[in-house]
Amino acid sequence: MSAYITTNGQPREDIKIVPRKVSFDWNGVTPNFIPGDPVTSHCINTLHIIFPMGENAFCRIFNEALPYLDDDPKLKADAIGFIRQEAMHSRSHQIVLGHYETCGYDVQLLADKLDSFVATRSGEKVFGLFNAPNEWMRRKWLSHRLMVVAAIEHFTCLMGVWMLENKSLKAAGANETMLDLLCWHCAEEVEHRNVAYDIAMYVSGNNHFQRYLAMIMCVPLLYKFMKVGALHMMAQDPTLKGQKISFWKAWQGGAKRGLLPGFNMLMRSTKRWFRRDYNPEVEADTQQALDYFAISPAAQAAEQRIAG
Nearer to Fe ion, 38 or 81 (CB): 81
Residue 25 Cβ, how far from Fe ion at the closest point, in Å?
21
- Hey, CA dihedral for 289, 293, 298, 304, is it positive or negative? positive
Stretch that binds Fe ion, among 70-78, 183-191, 209-217, 246-254 (CB under 5 A): 183-191
Q: Closest-CB residue for Fe ion?
A: 89
Residue 65 Cβ, how far from Fe ion at the closest point, in Å?
15
Total residues interacting with Fe ion, rule: CB under 5 A:
4
For position 189 contacting Fe ion by CB under 5 A, the verdict is yes
Nearer to Fe ion, 86 or 283 (CB): 86
Residues near 1 by beta carbon (within 8 Å), at least 6 away in sequence: 13, 14, 15, 286
Stretch that binds Fe ion, among 28-36, 86-94, 111-119, 283-291 (CB under 5 A): 86-94
Nearer to Fe ion, 89 or 99 (CB): 89
Residue 136 Cβ, how far from Fe ion at the closest point, in Å?
28
Stretch that binds Fe ion, among 133-141, 149-157, 255-263, 295-303 (CB under 5 A): 149-157
Question: CA 195, CA 189: separation in Å to the nearest integer?
Answer: 10
Nearer to Fe ion, 62 or 68 (CB): 62
Q: What SS3 string covers the chain?
A: CCEEECCCCCEEECCCCCCCCCCCCCCCCCCCCCCCCHHHHHHHHHHHHHHHHHHHHHHHHHHHHHHHHCCCHHHHHHHHHHHHHHHHHHHHHHHHHHHHHHCCCCCHHHHHHHHHHHHHHCCCCECCCECCCCHHHHHHHHHHHHHHHHHHHHHHHHHHHHHHHCCHHHHCCCCHHHHHHHHHHHHHHHHCCCHHHHHHHHHHCCCHHHHHHHHHHHHHHHHHHHHHHHHHHHHHCHHHCCCCCCHHHHHHHHHHCCCCCCHHHHHHHHHHHCCCCCCHHHHCCHHHHHHHHHHCHHHHHHHHHHHC
Residue 76 Cβ, how far from Fe ion at the closest point, in Å?
17
Residues 153-182 interacting with Fe ion (rule: CB under 5 A): 156
Give the residue, chosen from 12, 20, 42, 89, that forms a contact with Fe ion under the rule CB under 5 A: 89
Nearer to Fe ion, 93 or 232 (CB): 93
Residue 42 Cβ, how far from Fe ion at the closest point, in Å?
20
Give the per-residue contact string, 34-73, with Fe ion (x = CB under 5 A; - = no).
----------------------------------------
Residue 281 Cβ, how far from Fe ion at the closest point, in Å?
15
Residue 54 Cβ, how far from Fe ion at the closest point, in Å?
8
Binding site for Fe ion (CB under 5 A): 86, 89, 156, 189
